[in-house]
Amino acid sequence: MSFSRLSPGALFGGDYKIVRPLKEGGMGAVYIAEQLSTGALRALKLLHPQYVEDEAMRKRFEQEARAGARIESDYVVNVIGAGVDAATSMPWIAMELLEGEDLGDHVARVKTLSPGEALLVFRMLCHAVGAAHDAGIVHRDLKPENIFLAKSRRPGEPYTLKVLDFGIARAAADVRATGTAALGTPLWMAPEQTSRGPRITPATDVWALGLIAFYLLTGSWYWRSVHLESPSITEFLRELTLGELDPASLRAADLGLGTLPEGFDVWFARCVVRDPGARFQDARQTLAALEPILAGRGHHDVDLATAATAQLTAGMLAAPPKLARPFFVGTETEKALARGQPVPGPAMAPAPPAAPALAPPVTAPATSVTGPAPSQAAPRSRAWLVATPLVVLFAGGGVWLWKGRPTQTVPSTTALASVTASVPPPSLSTPPAAPAPSAASSGDTASVAAQQVAQESPMVAFPAAVFRLGYELGAIDERPVHDVSFPTFLLQKDEVTVAQYARCVAAGQCTAAGTDEFCNGARPGSDRHPINCVTQLQAATYCAWLGRRLPTEDEWEYAASGTAKRLYAWGDTSPVGRACIGRPKEGTCEVGSASGDTTPEGLRDMTGNVREWTASDYCPYDLSLACAHDQKVAKGGAWFSASAGVARTQVRQGYAPATSSTLVGVRCAKAF
C-alpha cells in the first residue's frame, strides 16, 4: 500500500477521515485528517509502508508519540493519539494541526531576526527543550525545520512556537545504557553524534541551540564547508569534528553576514565546543546566559522580547529538580567527603610545619575572617554579599529560596580599602617541606606515602588579600566584577601528575581515574603528565590524603592573575606557542614542561595542560540569577583549547561534580 492510495474520504485508524496530503519525508508522510469523534482537523502522521516491518523504525515512530506526551510544555506539538491501523498494520500518530510556517521558511522570508525577535523565539524554544531535559529526554534533531511558528491564540504574541519530531529522541538514561547509534541532521548535530557511543546528553541539544541562534541572527549557516561552490559531506564532517571553531562574529564577518550582539561570541563558544562537559549543560542554562545578551540591543528589541514575558513567566519559573545524594562505592576517605564528614584520621598525612609569616598581621575594623580546616573547602567569600536570613531569587530556570549562612563578618568599604592598601604583593617563598619520616615512625604506610608525595609537591604561599574577581569584558558568567576577601592560603606549584595520583590509589586512599581515550592514567608513558578523568570527589579525596584541599575559585583566580588582573599566567600576551593548548590530537604535555606558562610567583601550567577542579559552586556572580549548586567551577585552559580566549585566567567552566573529563585535573590548596 502506498500513500498515493490514501485518497480523500478514506477512513484510517478508526477515527480519522483523510482530507488531503500535507507533506512527505524520508520516514513517513503527514495528512490533514478530520477526527470524526470531535469534528476537529488533525495532522495525521503515518510511517512509510516499507518501514512497517522494520522493528527499529517502528520503535522510533512509537518513541515520538511517547516523548511528546511526557513533556510538559505548551511549546511542544500536542499529540492527540497514536495507534496501529487495523486494516493496513501501519502505525499512526495524530497531532494538533498547526497553521503557520517552520523556522527555516520564516528566516528565508525575513532574512534575519532582530535580537529581540530571536530572544522571543529562544524563550519559547528553550522552554520546550528545557521541559524535555527535565523529563530526561534529549531531542537530538533540533533544526529550523523541526521548529514551527504557529498562529498564536494569545494576545500580544506574534506566534506560538512548537517543537516537532521527537522521532529520534531518547531518554538520556537509555542512550547511556544502550550506546544507541548516532542520529541527527548533519548541519545541526553535535560531534558526539557522528559515532556510536554512550555520550548523548542534554548538552547535545545545546550544541544545536547555539547553531540555531547564529542562524537566526545572520540568516545563514555557521559552517564554511556548506558555503563552498561544491560542498561535500566529507568536507563538512572534517570541519565538524576537526576544524577550527572560529568565534561567531569572526565567522559572520568572513561570510559577509553582518555583526552580532556584544557578548554573543562568548555565549556561542559555550554552546559550540566539542567537549560536551564544557557546554551549558541544558536548555535552561543556555537561555539564562543568552537573555541579557539579546535584551541589551536597544529599546525596540527589549520591547519586542518582552511581549510574551507575561505568558511565559509562569511556565519558565518551574521548581528546581531535587538533587539526590549519590551512593558511592569507594575509599573511606571518598565516602566521608561525599557525606560531608571528617576525613578518617589514620589515612591523613600530618600537616607540614607552619611557614614563616609573609606579612605583618592585618587588622581592620569590623573584620573577622576565618580560614577553612585543612580537609575542608573554604566557603565562597564575597565582600559585597551580605547574608540575609532569606532571599528569594528568580531566574529562567526556577524560583529558589536561599537561606543565608554568614561565615564571616563582611568588611565595610572603608575597611576593605584599608586591607587592600596594607597587603603586600604575593610572596615567592615556599613553605619548608615536611621532614622525611623515619623508619621508626612509618607505622601507617598510607601516611608515609602521603608525606613523601607532599614533599614532592611544593606549595606557594599567597597572603590574605582583597581581590577583584571577574572580568568586565568577559562572558556573562564573569560579570559583574566584585571584591572578594580571603585569608592567607597555599597553592600547589604544579598540577598533580599521573604518578602521584597512582601512589594514592596504591595506598588504598583513592580510586582509579577514568580510562577513556586521552585519559592519561591509561596512556603508557604518561607518568609525568597531569592526571585527568577524575571527578571532583576523586580530586578532593587526593588532596585530603595530603592534608590539603581543593582551592576555591576565588583563590585560584587570584593566584593565576594577581592583583594586576593578568589575562594569562605571565601577562597579557598570547598563549599560543607558550602554554600547552591547541593540541587536539597530541593530548597533554608533561607537567611544567611549558616553560613560558609560569606566574611571577612560580606556579606552572595555570594557562594550559588541564583545567583544574575547584571547591566552588558554578553560581552566577549576579545575585539576581539563581544557582542550582549542581555544577562546580573548573579553572584554566586545557590541552584541547584552540582559542586563546578560553584559556584566560578569568574564564569559568561549569562541570557536574561526577564528570570525569579528559580536560580536567587537580591542583591542591591548603589554609595557611
Q: What is the pLDDT of residues 214-244, one digit of tens each?
A: 999 999 999 988 888 787 888 888 888 888 8
Q: Rounded mean pLDDT of 449-459?
A: 94
Local structure of 302: helix, strand or coil: helix
Local structure of 346: helix, strand or coil: helix
In a domain, 542, yes or no: yes
Q: Domain containing 556 — which CATH number?
A: 3.90.1580.10
**CA of residue 646 relative to chain centroid, distance:** 14
In a domain, 356, yes or no: no
Q: How many domains does the chain have?
A: 3
User: pLDDT value at position 434?
Assistant: 40
Lowest mean pLDDT among 269-273, 371-375, 559-563: 371-375
In the DSSP assignment, the letter for residue 497 is B
Q: Among the three residues 96, 113, 142, which one is the final residue of a domain in this structure?
A: 96
Q: Cα–Cα distance between 575 and 364 in angstroms, integer? A: 39
The answer to whether residues 138 and 163 touch, using CB atoms and an 8 Å cutoff, is no
Task: Flag whether pLDDT at 128 surpasses 60.
Answer: yes
In a domain, 650, yes or no: yes
Rounded to 5 degrees, φ, ψ at 670 are -160, 140
Helices (H) and strands (E) in the chain, counts: 17, 22
Q: Are residues 54 and 142 in the same domain?
A: no
User: pLDDT value at position 572?
Assistant: 92
User: pLDDT value at position 492?
Assistant: 98
One-letter amino acid of 463: P
Residue 115, Ramachandran bin (φ over 0: left; ψ between -120 and 50: alpha; else beta): alpha
Q: Are residues 308 and 205 in the same domain?
A: yes
User: pLDDT value at position 459?
Assistant: 96
Q: Are residues 548 and 641 in the same domain?
A: yes
User: pLDDT value at position 52?
Assistant: 60
User: pLDDT value at position 53?
Assistant: 61
Q: Are strands 170-171 and 147-150 parallel, antiparallel or unpaired?
A: unpaired
CA distances from 362 to 353, 419, 671 (A): 22, 7, 17
Task: Flag whether pLDDT at 378 surpasses 90.
Answer: no
Q: Are residues 118 and 64 in the same domain?
A: no
Candidate ranges 76-85, 191-200, 509-518, 608-617; pick with highest mean pLDDT:
608-617
Q: Among the three residues 47, 79, 96, which one is the final residue of a domain in this structure?
A: 96
Q: Domain containing 75 — which CATH number?
A: 3.30.200.20
Buried b (16+ CB within 10 A) or exposed e, 570-579: beeeebeebb
CA distances from 327 to 11, 102, 172, 338, 544 (A): 54, 45, 20, 9, 20
Contacts of 438 (CB under 8 A, 6+ apart): none
Candidate ranges 149-153, 276-280, 558-562; pick with highest mean pLDDT:
558-562
Contacts of 387 (CB under 8 A, 6+ apart): 404, 405, 406, 407, 410
Task: Flag whether pLDDT at 338 surpasses 60.
Answer: no
In which band, very low, low, confident or very high, does the pLDDT at 197 lie, cut at 50, 70 and 90?
low
The answer to whether residues 668 and 580 touch, using CB atoms and an 8 Å cutoff, is no
Q: Cα–Cα distance between 356 and 338 in angstroms, integer? A: 34
User: pLDDT value at position 327?
Assistant: 33
In a domain, 614, yes or no: yes
Nearest of 303, 301, 298, 271 to residue 286 by alpha carbon: 271
Is pLDDT larger for residue 481 or for residue 301?
481
Q: Are residues 83 and 118 in the same domain?
A: no
Q: Are residues 70 and 32 in the same domain?
A: yes
Q: Rounded mean pLDDT of 601-614?
A: 96
Lowest mean pLDDT among 343-352, 409-418, 516-525: 409-418
Is pLDDT larger for residue 244 or for residue 510?
510
Task: Flag whether pLDDT at 527 surpasses 80.
Answer: yes
Is pLDDT larger for residue 227 or for residue 264?
264
Task: Flag whether pLDDT at 266 surpasses 60.
Answer: yes
Q: What is the pLDDT of residues 319-337, one digit of tens each?
A: 333 222 233 345 666 556 6
CA angle 661, 663, 666 (to 5 degrees): 85
Q: Cα–Cα distance between 669 and 554 in angstroms, integer? A: 12
Q: Quote the pTM value.
A: 0.46
Q: Among the three residues 70, 96, 122, which one is the final residue of a domain in this structure?
A: 96
Q: Domain containing 210 — which CATH number?
A: 1.10.510.10
Q: Rounded mean pLDDT of 5-29?
A: 83
Q: Which residues lie across from 652 on neighbouring strands?
A: 635
Is pLDDT larger for residue 193 or for residue 424?
193
In a domain, 247, yes or no: yes
Cell of 208: 544545536
Q: Cα–Cα distance between 165 and 184 in angstroms, integer? A: 11
Q: Say how many residues make up the chain.
A: 672
In the DSSP assignment, the letter for residue 76 is B
Q: Are residues 198 and 65 in the same domain?
A: no
Rounded to 5 degrees, φ, ψ at 59 are -65, -40
Task: Flag whether pLDDT at 458 surpasses 60.
Answer: yes
Cell of 151: 498562529
User: pLDDT value at position 429?
Assistant: 36
Candidate ranges 80-89, 120-129, 220-229; pick with highest mean pLDDT:
120-129
User: pLDDT value at position 48?
Assistant: 67
In a domain, 647, yes or no: yes
In the DSSP assignment, the letter for residue 376 is S
The answer to whether residues 458 and 493 touch, using CB atoms and an 8 Å cutoff, is yes
For 171, the domain range is 100-316
Q: Are residues 11 and 26 in the same domain?
A: yes
Q: Are residues 176 and 195 in the same domain?
A: yes
Q: What is the pLDDT of residues 130-142, one digit of tens each?
A: 998 888 888 888 9
Q: Cα–Cα distance between 653 and 632 in angstroms, integer? A: 8
Lowest mean pLDDT among 165-169, 211-215, 538-542, 579-583: 165-169
Q: Are residues 124 and 262 in the same domain?
A: yes
Q: Are residues 35 and 122 in the same domain?
A: no
Q: Which residue has the cell 623508619?
A: 439
Q: Rounded mean pLDDT of 261-288?
A: 92
- Percent of residues in the chain assigned helix, strand, coil, to nearest 5: 30, 15, 50
The answer to whether residues 423 and 359 touch, using CB atoms and an 8 Å cutoff, is yes
Lowest mean pLDDT among 43-47, 65-69, 303-307, 341-345: 303-307
In a domain, 376, yes or no: no
Per-position DSSP letters for 535-565, written without gaps between them: -HHHHHHHHHHTT-BPPPHHHHHHHHHTTTT
User: pLDDT value at position 319?
Assistant: 30
Q: Cα–Cα distance between 648 and 474 in angstroms, integer? A: 9
Contacts of 490 (CB under 8 A, 6+ apart): 355, 431, 459, 460, 461, 462, 669, 670, 671, 672
Q: Which residue has the cell 563538512?
A: 236
Cell of 640: 584541547
- For the chain, the average pLDDT equals 76
Q: Are residues 27 and 160 in the same domain?
A: no
Task: Flag whether pLDDT at 309 surpasses 80.
Answer: no
In a domain, 475, yes or no: yes
In which band, very low, low, confident or very high, does the pLDDT at 63 lie, cut at 50, 70 and 90?
low
In which band, very low, low, confident or very high, does the pLDDT at 183 lie, cut at 50, 70 and 90?
very low
Nearest of 648, 658, 654 to residue 632 by alpha carbon: 654
Local structure of 204: helix, strand or coil: helix
The answer to whether residues 93 and 79 touch, using CB atoms and an 8 Å cutoff, is yes
User: pLDDT value at position 164?
Assistant: 87
User: pLDDT value at position 306?
Assistant: 35
